[in-house]
């Protein structure tokens, strides 16, 4: 068989990574505003739980299950010249129908959904607030899940920019909502906002406008990717759902992935449940999660988005050697960028959190708690990214059952560790459980490749370079620690803290780049040549 026409792998990583980086940076601006105006108080925790509800179901239905099954099938139809457009339209219509029903049911049973997320809210003002916020924000799942499917169409077609840029709209709109709240804007809502000049009233105003911003952002994101898909030739218009043979196969493949996605969400639920019993912990864990999601989003999500359709098309064409090379280069690039980031998060979590978040209602105690969670999450960062590299090996073969079984094991690891460590160490048990479960999942995914042949194993170049990447990262971490001794005092000075943090980060990047080049961990010229070929 002839080799599949390759997706521009490195160029795709850079495109998705760049737009994800822009979204994450703007997300920091949003989180800095939230932390400064609402701190880790009840309104902030209620909004974060309400916002996590549609996001949890989005990953469960769209990104986690539906697209895991949809993208390989759609990619193979493109490769073989079948009617991919009609298949995409049927999938779009079926997903829309399921999501409409889910949204109506969730709005009705919102108080119970909130308690399922955060049982510690029972008998607390946070339950009422999170219920009101959740009923407004939950419809976000309809628009963002359809946007995820349209993004899968674009990614499988080798067009990554619009899908990767769409999340920017969420952060732009939420930042604008916070600015509007600061200026006193407040639409007529079912939520009773009284004494808006009090501190509590001001925070409630911020939470209310943020919640409406989430819903508006969902509409905007779907609109952007729908227009991009239409220009590519996929102007998908819903119709009455049809149970075609392809839809039956899609459902059969998606069901184990949906169950696996449910297991992943149970892991997140365990963390939130543990956090809900400690005042402020949900906010601390959420802000720490946002920080480690920066390298995870830029590297891990970019690799996963680009690698899955590429592997699917190569396997369809019988291009095993090309598939092995794609897997190895994806692993090499992701580890070269992720391991030093993980070291930095473990070495200097307090300065990062302090400079970015400590102001207004977010105090020194909040900084210390968030930094502790960030260091624990940082230790698991390479595992989170490796999952994104390894899972496409299974999904490209339309094997969603094996990752589901592995996810069940990881869920048990997470629950036992999170609850057990919570008794001993408090809220940080949630972060420990998440990190241990991530490494357990990676071990299982590596172990499960044995029967897949050479295409599923990293090549000699990867195996040779990975230890050099680790060594260069450790040396960089030592340099970063030394830099903290020199620049540490400036991190606490209002006029110098941002410059001092920037100097430390840029210095660490330069040191790592030089060491990596000298040790042979990577060659900067290889990245430049790959981009030129793209």
> What pTM did the predictor assign?
0.67
**Nearest to residue 403, comparing CAs of 9, 69, 56?**
69
* Contact criterion met (CB below 8 Å) for 332 and 522: yes
Q: What is residue 5's predicted lDDT score, i.e. its pLDDT? A: 42
pLDDT at residue 104, as a whole number: 94
For 13, left (φ over 0), alpha (ψ -120 to 50), or beta?
A: alpha
DSSP 316-381: HHT-HHHHHHHHHHHHHHHHHHHHHHHHHHHHSHHHHHHHHH-BTTB-HHHHHHHHHHHHHHHHHH
Nearest to 357 by CA among 367, 347, 344, 368: 367
pLDDT in tens, 87-104: 889 888 988 998 899 999
Q: How many CA atoms lie within 13 A of 72 on its CB side?
A: 27
CA dist., res. 124 & res. 192, Å (int): 17
Calpha distance 38→16 (Å, rounded) = 32
Q: Which residues share a beta bridge with 362?
A: 359
Q: CA nearest 239: which of 88, 103, 104, 76? A: 88
- Both tokens assigned to 296: 């995870």
Reading the block at residue 238, the tokens are: 């819903």
C-alpha distances in Å from residue 216, one per residue of 85, 100, 148, 221, 352 = 28, 17, 16, 9, 31
**pLDDT of res. 98:** 86
Q: What's the helix, strand, coil split of the chain in %, to 5?
A: 85, 0, 15
Alpha-carbon distance values, 165 to 148, 187, 233 (Å)? 12, 29, 19
Q: What is the per-residue pLDDT for 159?
A: 77
The predicted pLDDT at position 528 comes to 58
What pLDDT score was predicted for residue 191?
A: 43
Nearest Cα neighbor of 320 from 395, 397, 399 is: 397
Structural contact between residues 54 and 137, judged by C-beta atoms closer than 8 angstroms: yes
Q: How is residue 233 written in tokens?
A: 């030739």
Tell me the backbone φ, ψ of residue 177, rounded to 5 degrees.
Answer: -65, -40
Instruction: Quote the pLDDT of residue 154.
Output: 85
R_g of the chain, CA atoms, integer Å: 23
* 427-to-278, 281, 371 alpha-carbon distances in Å: 6, 6, 13
- pLDDT of 193 reads 43
Phi, then psi, of 152 in degrees rounded to 5: -60, -40
Copy the structure tokens of residue 13.
Answer: 């990583």
What local confidence, expressed as pLDDT, does residue 184 receive? 59
Ranges of residues in the chain whose predicted pLDDT is under 50? 1-7, 186-197, 530-534
Model pLDDT for residues 364-419, shown as the tens digit of each residue: 888 999 999 999 999 999 998 888 888 878 877 777 788 888 888 988 999 899 98
**Which phi and psi (to 5°) does residue 154 adopt?**
-65, -45
| Residues whose CB is less than 8 angstroms from the CB of residue 110 and which lie 6 or more positions away in sequence, other chains included | 131, 134, 135, 138
Query: 95: closest CA among 176, 149, 36, 19?
Result: 149
> How distant, in Å, are the alpha carbons of 68, 136, 140 from that of 222?
19, 18, 10
Give the model's pLDDT for residue 9: 54
* pLDDT recorded at residue 307: 63
Say which residues have a Cβ less than 8 Å from residue 344's Cβ, sequence separation at least 6. 378, 476, 477, 480, 505, 508
* CB-based contact 435:450 (threshold 8 Å): no
């Amino acid at each position: 068989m002839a080799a599949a026409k390759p997706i521009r792998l490195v160029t795709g990583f850079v495109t998705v990574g760049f737009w994800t980086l822009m979204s994450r940076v703007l997300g920091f601006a949003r989180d800095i505003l939230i932390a400064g105006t609402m701190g880790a108080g009840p309104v902030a925790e209620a909004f974060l739980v309400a916002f996590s509800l549609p996001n949890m179901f989005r990953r469960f239905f769209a990104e986690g299950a539906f697209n895991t099954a949809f993208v390989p099938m759609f990619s193979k139809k493109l490769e073989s010249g079948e009617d991919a457009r009609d298949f995409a339209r049927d999938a779009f219509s079926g997903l829309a129908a399921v999501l409409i029903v889910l949204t109506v049911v969730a709005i009705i049973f919102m108080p119970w959904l909130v308690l399922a997320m955060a049982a510690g809210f029972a008998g607390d003002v946070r339950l009422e607030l999170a219920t009101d916020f959740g009923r407004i924000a939950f419809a976000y799942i309809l628009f963002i899940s359809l946007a995820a499917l349209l993004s899968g169409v674009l990614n499988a077609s080798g067009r990554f920019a619009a899908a990767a840029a769409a999340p920017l709209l969420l952060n732009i709109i939420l930042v604008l909502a916070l600015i509007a709240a600061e200026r006193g804007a407040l639409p007529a809502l079912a939520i009773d906002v009284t004494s808006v000049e009090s501190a509590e009233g001001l925070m409630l105003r911020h939470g209310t406008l943020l919640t409406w911003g989430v819903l508006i952002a969902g509409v905007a994101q779907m609109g952007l990717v729908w227009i991009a898909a239409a220009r590519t030739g996929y102007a998908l218009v819903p119709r009455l759902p049809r149970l075609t043979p392809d839809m039956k196969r899609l459902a059969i493949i998606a069901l184990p992935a949906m169950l696996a996605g449910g297991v992943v969400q149970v892991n997140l639920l365990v963390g939130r449940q543990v956090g809900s019993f400690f005042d402020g912990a949900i906010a601390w864990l959420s802000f720490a999660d946002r920080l480690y999601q920066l390298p995870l989003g830029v590297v891990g999500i970019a690799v996963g988005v680009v690698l899955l359709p590429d592997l699917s098309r190569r396997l369809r064409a019988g291009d095993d050697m090309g598939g092995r090379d794609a897997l190895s280069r994806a692993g090499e690039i992701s580890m070269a960028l992720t391991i030093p980031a993980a070291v930095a998060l473990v070495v200097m979590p307090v300065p990062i959190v302090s400079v970015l978040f400590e102001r207004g209602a977010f105090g020194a105690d909040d900084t210390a708690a968030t930094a502790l969670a960030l260091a624990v999450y940082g230790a698991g960062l390479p595992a989170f990214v490796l999952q994104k590299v390894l899972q496409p090996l299974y999904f490209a073969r339309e094997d969603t059952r094996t990752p589901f079984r592995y996810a069940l094991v990881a869920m048990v690891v997470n629950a036992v560790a999170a609850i057990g460590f919570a008794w001993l160490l408090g809220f940080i048990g949630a972060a420990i459980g998440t990190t241990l479960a991530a490494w357990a999942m990676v071990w299982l995914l590596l172990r499960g490749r044995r029967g897949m042949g050479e295409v599923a194993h990293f090549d000699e170049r990867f195996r040779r370079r990975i230890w050099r990447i680790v060594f260069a990262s450790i040396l960089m971490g030592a340099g970063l620690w030394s830099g903290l001794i020199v620049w540490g005092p400036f991190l606490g000075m209002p006029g110098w803290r941002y410059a001092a943090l920037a100097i430390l980060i840029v210095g660490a990047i330069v040191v790592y780049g030089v060491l990596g080049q000298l040790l042979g961990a990577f060659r900067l010229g290889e990245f430049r040549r790959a981009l030129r070929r793209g």
